[in-house]
A = this chain, B = another copy of it.
Amino acid sequence: MIGRVTISLDAMGGDNAPDVVVQGVQIARNRLPHVDFLLFGDQAKLESLLAQAPELKGCCQLRHTDQAVKGDDKPSQVLRQGRKTSMWLAVDAVARGEAAGVVSAGNTGALMAVSKYVLRMLPGIDRPAIAGFFPTERGESVMLDLGANVDCDANNLVEFAVMGEVFARIVLGIENPTVGLLNVGSEEMKGNDSVRTAASILRQGHLPLTFHGFVEGNDIAGGAVDVVVSDGFTGNIALKSAEGLARLYTRFLRDAFSSSWLAKLGYLLARSALVKVKLRTDPRRYNGAMFLGLNGIAVKSHGGTDAVGFANAIGVAADLITHGFNDSIKQELERLKAIEEQPAQAAAI
């Protein structure tokens, strides 16, 4: 039996808050009956939304604040002046032990800055990373970093590999996930210093993970590995480039299916099959980017998502909490540290 857990929500974060947040809770509630919610935001607005959802009465608590982080607020500004915002209070609930994790659809940079400041890093991690899912030919894979760090050295990449591997095991349920380093070619001599050094550390095999080697951009959707590791600059651009192409394809197809009566009829006949494609590639399905490396569970929902997407982000947080994600990371990091401190002994293992 799963014990009850509480997730705190930045009810004012995202383009369509707080409506989407409350609707997301309604959807998540059915899938996650063991979860309670602590909503931070405008009490009057939230009460009127909750009045229309009486089934949520037992599982939702409200905490009023009239301050919220805006989409274009600078992280440094939020750190200085944002202690009463719904985002800060929601993150702080995790630090105070009132909640086991937090979900926000607000400003990514601000959420990262506040989470780092309030939750602190896990011991042994230099930098947090943003991890997300994407569809592949084999199912789903994990990719990190998606933009928390524009410059990464080899050690950062190795830490991302360790965290990503645990993430794939816990959230995707893959027993022995394979890990690849994103590069411009698969040969050993390719790439910049960071990826080459990180690969040589991972190749030594001292770490408890299956290192596949380098992967290229097309291997991401190809599903060559379960975990794709990259610096945040490249990872963010790679993922968004693929998203852009998905949108372009969708538009080309829409144009094609409306270009003639015959094509329209064809679409109608094939529709149920095409809807399945849409579901397989639905960005809402992959919503919920996890901030890895923090001393607490923090999940970022896409700012423009709808209730289905927000519910999925809640689901990611619930999975991470239920499966003791951060404890697993800590164990791996202690193992990593032990290896680093005793290289000779480790080599003999």
| Chain A residues close to B by CB (< 8 Å) | 72, 74, 135-137, 147, 150-151, 182-184, 187, 189-192, 216-222, 230, 232-234, 236-249, 251-253, 255-257, 259-260, 262-263, 265-274, 276-277, 280-281
Pick the contact of A257 from B72, B256, B262, B270 — CB < 8 Å?
Answer: B270
A to B CB contacts below 8 Å, 29 in the list = A135-B248, A150-B192, A184-B232, A184-B233, A192-B233, A216-B236, A217-B236, A220-B245, A221-B247, A221-B248, A234-B237, A241-B241, A245-B245, A249-B277, A252-B281, A253-B277, A256-B276, A257-B270, A262-B269, A262-B272, A262-B273, A263-B269, A263-B274, A265-B266, A266-B270, A266-B271, A266-B273, A267-B270, A269-B269
Q: CA of A118 to CA of B340 in the docked complex: distance in angstroms?
A: 47
Point out the residues of chain B lying under 8 angstroms from A232, CB to CB: 184
**Shortest Cβ distance from A190 into B: residue:** B150
* Closest CB in chain B relative to A129 CB, distance in Å: 14
Q: CA of A146 to CA of B239 in the docked complex: distance in angstroms?
A: 17
* Closest CB in chain B relative to A231 CB, distance in Å: 9
Which of A182, A256, A267 has the most CB atoms of chain B within a 10 A radius of its CB?
Answer: A256
A220 B244 Cβ-Cβ under 8 A: yes
* Closest CB in chain B relative to A219 CB, distance in Å: 7
Point out the residues of chain B lying under 8 angstroms from A266, CB to CB: 265-271, 273
A137 B251 Cβ-Cβ under 8 A: yes
**Shortest Cβ distance from A135 into B: residue:** B248
A216 B240 Cβ-Cβ under 8 A: yes
B252 A237 Cβ-Cβ under 8 A: no
Q: CA of A184 to CA of B219 in the docked complex: distance in angstroms?
A: 21
B260 A265 Cβ-Cβ under 8 A: no
Point out the residues of chain B lying under 8 angstroms from A276, CB to CB: 256, 259
Point out the residues of chain B lying under 8 angstroms from A234, CB to CB: 233-234, 237
Which of A136, A238, A246 has the most CB atoms of chain B within a 10 A radius of its CB?
Answer: A238
* Closest CB in chain B relative to A56 CB, distance in Å: 35
A241 B218 Cβ-Cβ under 8 A: yes
* Closest CB in chain B relative to A145 CB, distance in Å: 10
Point out the residues of chain B lying under 8 angstroms from A221, CB to CB: 241, 244-245, 247-248
Point out the residues of chain B lying under 8 angstroms from A189, CB to CB: 74
- Which 7 A-B residue pairs are closest in the complex by CB-CB distance? A217-B240, A266-B270, A266-B269, A218-B244, A221-B244, A217-B241, A263-B273
Pick the contact of A256 from B190, B265, B277 — CB < 8 Å?
Answer: B277
* Closest CB in chain B relative to A327 CB, distance in Å: 31
B270 A263 Cβ-Cβ under 8 A: yes
**Shortest Cβ distance from A280 into B: residue:** B252
Point out the residues of chain B lying under 8 angstroms from A277, CB to CB: 249, 252-253, 255-256
Point out the residues of chain B lying under 8 angstroms from A265, CB to CB: 266, 269-270
Q: CA of A265 to CA of B243 in the docked complex: distance in angstroms?
A: 30
Point out the residues of chain B lying under 8 angstroms from A217, CB to CB: 236-244
Point out the residues of chain B lying under 8 angstroms from A192, CB to CB: 150-151, 233
B233 A191 Cβ-Cβ under 8 A: yes
